[in-house]
Chain A
């Protein structure tokens, strides 16, 4: 039987705010345990939550980016369960009235674009951490993370393969970083994924029973965990078994999922509106203000890069996945007044390769947009050839000098003086009569040999177009 996989993802995005969602404590990562947990985060008797407005702003930015309905009225609710790292015995989340309603995100897999529905996105607080090591059979509780703002983004069950799930997760990851609402640090847990996975016979319209795989924190593991789970479910059904609704945990070391709790064991969270917090009211003015400051979204920017700059699909996509990269491109372009495709090629080519190799982000590039523009100017006005430009680029990467300084210092200026080139050509023709004969008898390939010889003699500084023209004339003699 042929099987179809159905996947929906729940992604917890940590919002990039200075302070926590309901207290003034810092959200900075990595402090000594419990040094960034104030009375509110500790859930002391008598304390009350006060909503950090910045989290609302970031959630609305996200909602607008996925063209979602922004709820004019949303409500915080208490999700009740006991756990040592959940100080109040309930998590403040949103249930019936999330701040962001239905939206969507377009993904591309193997050249095909697919629209993935986003059911909702809601604000909630993170819990602390239980530390089981080095406490001699006891558990340590670190509440620094308690109260960190999260936006939980829930997709529709629209994905049909692990590849699609990864593409969606990546696209979402790029979007939240692009919008500046999440720092995207996956090692620190800023972007975490739970996957709902089920299988059904191809052609069947109803969904199979799903399992929820918790806590998969890298793109690689998402693909592996889903593929593993799909195999497990198919094998189970084909052997006459039944998938049970349950929560499973992915073990990246053993590359397997294992049962955490069944539906019967699941908590009854007893959600109810949190009486300590007022409903969040969002009016048109607030939305208009955010919209006015909303950055141009990747999709729109890509389209603009394609039409305004005549970039191809690939370059436009690469340049618009990150806002700093797109900004770098436009700044370089403006400063150099060069041909956009030339500019794009240098950034997506040599510069990106060098950054990758060094493990740097565009924001940390040793070559500023201005210095790269200096190089592109000299390529555009034929001061240097593309080949020499690569040489200059190497120096730009390592020293603070400008392209002009490097060209002058190393004498790399292209020779366009016809007389000088002609003299060299004459000498080479004289020295290589055999090849001249071959060329004249119709062996066009030999032409490249002459170009190479001239360039070698001139240390690459000759203008290639000029060399070609003059060589042709002389050889035809």
Chain B
């Protein structure tokens, strides 16, 4: 059952081939079997089975949606009513959310089954899932390598078939990079397409939730449920949601693909370049035209991001103060002691590093030099993309500089770690949609191809990904031991 696509699962449920309870039990069993991957922070076995019973009744009444009875898992950044929502941090280890995130609410309404909450880098700050308070997640393709981050649990769970599909969030690459490292399909929607309400904020102007699944077809089904205007999120966009599955089979003849020369310079490792070249050739065969484009300001993306994101996070994380919820230090002697020890003991190293960087960047005397300048760069990068997207329909490139790296390899060197998001960060700064699809292997580890489109062109991106997945089978490979 765990090898089936979402469409096949929905069909199986409706035809009575298996029930949602059976399907749920099957996934729960797999989760137990593969606990050592550390993909889940919380497994909600009871909730899952209750959800499944309700779903089966709904299916029997003929009131099912495409996701009714389908076992999914949520990144532990989405608040789930009465269920621990840790955001991968010690400071929220005791936090039971008193409400549902809009995304969670939407999956509940659709009748999906919640298997549990997935591991992640603490507060989504990391590119390897190693900053999690709950420990590193192992990549099912090679348990000595990282699954990527921050949605590392989501990437690993979907790749290892420990959930039919999952949610992730992407602030600088946190959906696409783990999708690439785990050999699955992950979409970061246009900023404002998916509600951020109930999604614990890291960097509010960059954060965007999105689906992670095995194929573009599955991702389209998930996005259909996740997308849409939310009156509770002022930055969500009030624009109608298209039918994401309707155009999946549109032909690609005449598609104009742009390859930024900045993405394909000599810095890109030759194995990666060769793999991507093969993938792009498939598109040529499908009738696409390929041309080089230039985005000169891309090189400024990482420095700009590491001013803006920490600045926003320094304020977003102020609410974790030991006063109302979350971790509180023992026997505080006074208010300052309560603050410093609760936060000092509750936050991990990388989170503290980013709070400090952000606080510094916003301080009097530095604000103009850092924050204001970074915002200007952000505008330049957006303009680069806008310009390029007047010449071509989509932009393609690598997702990561290399396939998954070893656990422990980069964690001691933040700069090295930050550079692993070099191809994804600019897209968040511009607010554009982008997805990562499996495009081959290097030494047994998956490689992702990134497809970047214009604002609100998710339907087109999914169509382009789906057509590729009709002529390739990279997305159907399963890691050994998880078949």
Contact = CB atoms under 8 A, between A and B. Distances in A.
B297 interface: no
**Chain A binding surface, main DSSP class:** loop
Given A45-B97, A46-B200, A88 B234 contact: no
A46 B324 contact: no
Contacts of B197: 46-48
A270 interface: yes
A50 B232 contact: yes
Contacts of A278: 234-235
A45 B235 contact: no
Contact of A45 (B87, B203, B364): B87
Residue among A39, A45, A272 having the largest count of chain B Cβ atoms under 10 Å:
A45
B325 A44 contact: yes
Nearest to A270: B362
Interface in A78-98: 78, 80, 82, 84, 87-90
Given A268-B363, A272-B315, A48 B233 contact: yes
A25 to B, nearest CB: 14
B182 interface: no
B359 A270 contact: yes
B218 interface: no
B198 interface: yes
A80 B315 contact: yes
Contacts of B204: 275-276
Contacts of B95: 45
A464 interface: no
Nearest to B318: A89
Contacts, number: 102
Nearest to B205: A275
A335 interface: no
B119 to A, nearest CB: 17
B371 interface: yes
B321 A39 contact: no
Interface residues of B, number: 45
Nearest to A90: B315
Contact of A39 (B99, B231, B320): B99
A43 interface: yes
B407 interface: no
A271 B363 CA distance: 8
B198 A277 contact: no
A42 interface: yes
B14 interface: no
Nearest to B100: A46
B336 to A, nearest CB: 9
A386 interface: no
Nearest to B325: A44
B415 interface: no
Contact of A87 (B92, B235, B324): B324
A52 B79 CA distance: 24
Given A46-B198, A46-B200, A80-B362, A88 B319 contact: yes
Interface in B100-141: 101
Interface string A176-212: 0000000000000000000000000000000000000
A388 interface: no
Interface in A221-239: none
Interface string B392-433: 000000000000000000000000000000000000000000
B339 interface: yes
B200 A84 contact: no
Contacts of B339: 82
A10 to B, nearest CB: 20
B98 interface: yes
Contacts of B205: 275
A375 to B, nearest CB: 54
A88 B335 contact: no
A458 interface: no
A89 B321 contact: yes
Nearest to A85: B323
Interface string B310-343: 0110110111110111100000000100010000
A56 interface: no
A357 to B, nearest CB: 48
A51 B235 CA distance: 11
A395 interface: no
Given A46-B200, A47-B198, A48-B196, A88 B232 contact: no
Contacts of A47: 197-198
A49 interface: yes
Contact of B371 (A42, A51, A272): A272
Given A49-B234, A270-B364, 6 more contacts: A50-B233, A80-B362, A88-B318, A90-B315, A270-B315, A276-B201
11 contacts: A44-B98, A48-B232, A78-B315, A80-B362, A82-B321, A84-B335, A89-B317, A89-B318, A275-B312, A276-B201, A278-B234
State the 7 A-B residue pairs at the shortest beta-carbon distance, nearest first: A89-B318, A275-B205, A270-B362, A275-B204, A46-B198, A43-B319, A45-B200
